[in-house]
Structure formats: structure tokens, C-alpha cells
A and B are shown apart, each in its own frame.
Chain A
Amino acid sequence: AQSVAQPEDQVNVAEGNPLTVKCTYSVSGNPYLFWYVQYPNRGLQFLLKYITGDNLVKGSYGFEAEFNKSQTSFHLKKPSALVSDSALYFCAVRDAASGGYNKLIFGAGTRLAVHP
């Protein structure tokens, strides 16, 4: 079965420090991976996606993610965290069994808290 794991419920980081939010996946075939962010009482906002090509994907708001096939990981990173980055972050993988359709399987989410 295909799945996504976000091993940390919460990540705490000081403003200005680098941040990493971890994600590992299990899929059959090539993985299509996504990161979304959810601010309080808001919908999900797309950050970035990996389909193929360069393992380092750059996205919105200065975020990037590194695809590592051997470790089946797709960790989200940012060189310098801002307090405004505090939110809930979701990793997702496309369900390969959904054919050409875009069924996403989401991780449980990781709450990022950036402290001044």
C-alpha cells in the first residue's frame, strides 16, 4: 500500500535558523511528491512538487525540498526560518493506483513553530 509518513508531530526552530520538516514515502513506481502548508483556519496552499528531474526542488516562500530515492525521503527545508512560517505542513504522494487521476495520499502533518 502506498503511504506517506511525517515522523514529527511538531518541529520547533528559532527564527533565522535553518529548518527541516521530514517526509518519507512508500509507493510503487515513480513517486510524485508534494508539499502543502496550512495556516490556521485556512485552506492548504501549494508549496512545491517533485515529478522528475533535479532532486532539489525550489518552491514558494523560499522553501525547497530534496528528493532522495535511496532513502525514499522528500524533506522540506528552508535556510532561514521566519516566525510567519509557523503553520501545519503536509507532505503528499500521488497514489500510483489512481491511473491518470490525481489522487493524493497525505501525511499526518507536521506543525512547525518558529520562535522569535
Chain B
Amino acid sequence: DTAVSQTPKYLVTQMGNDKSIKCEQNLGHDTMYWYKQDSKKFLKIMFSYNNKELIINETVPNRFSPKSPDKAHLNLHINSLELGDSAVYFCASSQGPGAGLGTQYFGPGTRLTVL
């Protein structure tokens, strides 16, 4: 009965590789998010999708490409990984804007380590 799930939990890879992180939510929410938490625990939003449409796109290198095949899934693909991409990536979901100020519910995180 996991609400927001992410795979994989840990990802260790070499610089220059391409990798994907998957996120799924079973809460029936319309809006999903990707956050990056750096080594100092600072948390910043990267992207948000509402009903498969991109609505928030922060200043993120275009090596990062989110994809939402349906409103229950939001994947994050990263090309040409760099050392600075090492972080914990969190997926979250909430009700859409029409439902008022929905609380965001977070997944367990994916710890990405780039060597």
C-alpha cells in the first residue's frame, strides 16, 4: 500500500553515463514533482507535472529530462552524468490545483552517486 514509490533506492554509476529514476504514486493525485536534496540536505524543486503536462521547470541543466507517461508516473532521465549530480532525488505528489492547496507526499528517495 505504498503511496509514493521510487526505483531504484540506490544508484551508483560512472561519470558520463545515462540513467533513469522511476516514480509511481497510487494516491490518485494529479500533480507530481521531482526534488533534489544535496549533501547539505538542502531541498530544491526541479520539475512538476500536472496531468502529464509540465508546469514547473526550474533552472535545471537540460541533461535532466522528466517524462510523465500517465498521471500516476513521473520518471527522471539524466544524460551524461556529472559528479555534481550526486544527491538524493525525491519524488512527490499532491492533488491538482483545482483541489485547493494539496499537501505534497514524498517518496523514499533515490540516492545517486556518480563516480
Q: Which residue numbers of A lie inside 8 Å of B, CB to CB? A: 32, 34, 36, 38, 41-46, 49, 51, 88, 90, 94, 98-104, 106, 108-109
CA distance A90 to B104 in the complex (A): 13
Cα of A43 to Cα of B103 in the assembled complex, Å: 14
Residue contact B42 to A42, C-beta cutoff 8 Å = no
A102→B97 contact, CB < 8 A: yes
CB-defined contacts of A45 to chain B, threshold 8 Å: 106
Report B78-103 CB contacts with A as 1/0, cut-off 8 Å.
00000000000010101001100111
With contacts A42-B109, A108-B42 taken as known, whether A101 is within 8 angstroms of B90 at the C-beta atoms is: no
Number of A-B contacts (CB under 8 A): 58
Say yes or no: A108 contacts B90, CB within 8 Å. Answer: no
Q: Which of chain B's residues 15-38 have a Cβ closer than 8 Å to chain A?
A: 31
From the candidates A38, A100, A103, name the one contacting B45 in the complex (CB within 8 A).
A103
CB < 8 Å: which of B56, B90, B102, B104 contacts A98? B56
Can you spell out 12 A-B residue pairs with CB atoms less than 8 angstroms apart?
A42-B109, A44-B106, A46-B103, A46-B105, A100-B97, A101-B48, A101-B50, A102-B102, A102-B104, A106-B42, A108-B40, A109-B42
In the bound assembly, the distance between CA atoms of A94 and B33 in angstroms comes to 14
Q: Assuming the A-B contacts A101-B31, A101-B56, are A42 and B108 also in contact, with contact meaning beta carbons closer than 8 angstroms in the complex?
A: yes
Contact A103 B41 (CB under 8 A): no
Decide: A49 and B45 in contact? CB cutoff 8 A: no
Other than A101-B31, A106-B43, give 14 A-B pairs with Cβ distance below 8 A: A34-B103, A43-B4, A43-B106, A43-B108, A44-B106, A45-B106, A46-B103, A100-B98, A101-B56, A102-B94, A102-B97, A103-B56, A104-B45, A109-B43
| Residues in A neighbouring B12, C-beta threshold 8 A | none
Sort chain B's interface into a size bin: 20 to 34
Interface assignment of B66: CB less than 8 Å from any CB of chain A: no
- Given A43-B90, A45-B106, A49-B103, also A101-B97 (CB < 8 A): yes
Q: Report whether A106 and B44 are in contact in the complex, using a CB–CB cutoff of 8 Å.
A: yes
The 5 closest A-B pairs by CB, nearest first: A100-B97, A43-B106, A44-B106, A106-B43, A43-B108
